[in-house]
Structure 1
Amino acid sequence: MEWVVVVSVLVMTILSLLRVNVIIAIIAAAITAGLMSGMNTIESIEMLVSGMGGQASTALSYVLLGAFAVAISYTGITTILVNYLIRVLTGKKTMTLLAIAGVASLSQNLVPVHIAFIPILIPPLLKLFDDMKMDRRGVATALTFGLKAPYVMIPAGFGLIFHETIVNGMKQNGADITITESALSMLVPGFGMIVGLLIAVFITYRKNRESVPEAGGGEVDFNAPKLEKVKFNKSHLLTLVAIVAALAVQLITENLIVGALTGLVLMFLLLVVPFNNGDKVVSDGISMMGTIAFVMLVASGFGKILTETGAVDALVEVSSGFLGNNKPLIAFILLLVGLVVTIGIGSSFGTIPILAALYVPICIAAGFSPMATAALIGTAGALGDAGSPASDSTLGPTSGLNADGKHHHIWDTCVPTFIHFNIPLFIFGWIGAIIL
Structure 2
Amino acid sequence: MEWVVIISVLVLIALSLMRVNVIFAIIVAAEVAGLLTGLSLTETTNLMISGMGGLADTALSYVLLGIFAVMIGFSGIVGFLVKRLVKLISGKRSILLLVIAGAACLSQNVIPVHIAFIPILIPPLLHLFDKMKVDRRGVAAALTFGLKAPYLTIPAGFGLIFQGIIVSEMSANGMDVALSTVTKAMILPGIGMVAGLLFAIFITYRKDRELSAMGNSPLAEGEIAASAEHEQLVFSKHHFLTLIAIAAALVVQLITESLVLGALTGVVSMFALLVVPFRDGDRFVNEGIHMMGMIAFVMLIASGYAKVLTDTGAIKALVTSASQFLGTSHLVIAVVMLLVGLLVTIGIGSSFGTIPIIAALFVPICLEVGFSPMATAALIGTAAGLGDAGSPASDSTLGPTSGLNADGKHHHIWDTCVPTFMHYNIPLFIFGVLAAVVL
TM-score w.r.t. length of structure 1: 0.90
2:329 paired with 1:326:
yes
SS of 2:107's equivalent in the other structure is: helix
Q: Which amino acid aligns with 1:431?
A: L
- For residue 209 of structure 1, report the CA deviation from its aligned partner: 2.0
1:107 aligns with 107
The 5-angstrom pairing of residues 28-427 of structure 1 reads 28-212=28-212, 224-226=222-224, 227=228, 228-232=231-235, 236=239, 239-240=242-243, 243=246, 246-247=249-250, 250-251=253-254, 253-264=256-267, 281=284, 284-427=287-430
Cα 1:244/1:121, change in 2 over 3 Å: closer
Asked if structure 2 preserves the Cα contact closer than 8 Å seen for 1:157 and 1:250, the reply is no
Give the gaps of 5 or more residues in structure 2: none
Query: 1 CA distance for matches of 2:267 and 2:31?
Result: 39
- For residue 356 of structure 1, report the CA deviation from its aligned partner: 2.0
Cα 1:40/1:240, change in 2 over 3 Å: same
Cα 1:181/1:274, change in 2 over 3 Å: farther
Cα 1:129/1:42, change in 2 over 3 Å: same
Q: Which amino acid aligns with 2:16?
A: S
Q: What is the aligned residue count?
A: 433
Asked if structure 2 preserves the Cα contact closer than 8 Å seen for 1:375 and 1:432, the reply is yes
Query: 2 CA distance for matches of 1:191 and 1:243?
Result: 33
Asked if structure 2 preserves the Cα contact closer than 8 Å seen for 1:345 and 1:384, the reply is no
Per-residue deviation, residues 127-167 of structure 1 (Å, max 9, x unmatched): 22222222221111111112112222222222232222223
Asked if structure 1 preserves the Cα contact closer than 8 Å seen for 2:78 and 2:124, the reply is no
- For residue 362 of structure 1, report the CA deviation from its aligned partner: 2.0
SS of 2:223's equivalent in the other structure is: coil
Give the gaps of 5 or more residues in structure 1: none
Q: Which amino acid aligns with 1:107?
A: S
Moved more, 222-231 or 158-167: 222-231
Query: 1 CA distance for matches of 2:377 and 2:271?
Result: 42
Percent identity over the alignment? 66
Asked if structure 1 preserves the Cα contact closer than 8 Å seen for 2:65 and 2:263, the reply is yes
Cα 1:213/1:195, change in 2 over 3 Å: same
- For residue 306 of structure 1, report the CA deviation from its aligned partner: 0.9
Q: Which amino acid aligns with 1:423?
A: I
Q: Which amino acid aligns with 2:176?
A: D
Query: 2 CA distance for matches of 1:151 and 1:273?
Result: 35
Cα 1:403/1:342, change in 2 over 3 Å: same
Asked if structure 1 preserves the Cα contact closer than 8 Å seen for 2:334 and 2:433, the reply is yes
TM-score w.r.t. length of structure 2: 0.89
**RMSD of aligned alpha carbons:** 2.7
- For residue 357 of structure 1, report the CA deviation from its aligned partner: 2.1
Cα 1:261/1:26, change in 2 over 3 Å: same
2:19 aligns with 19
Asked if structure 2 preserves the Cα contact closer than 8 Å seen for 1:12 and 1:28, the reply is yes
- For residue 241 of structure 1, report the CA deviation from its aligned partner: 5.3
Q: Which amino acid aligns with 2:396?
A: S
Q: Which amino acid aligns with 2:148?
A: K
Q: Which amino acid aligns with 1:205?
A: Y
- For residue 264 of structure 1, report the CA deviation from its aligned partner: 4.8
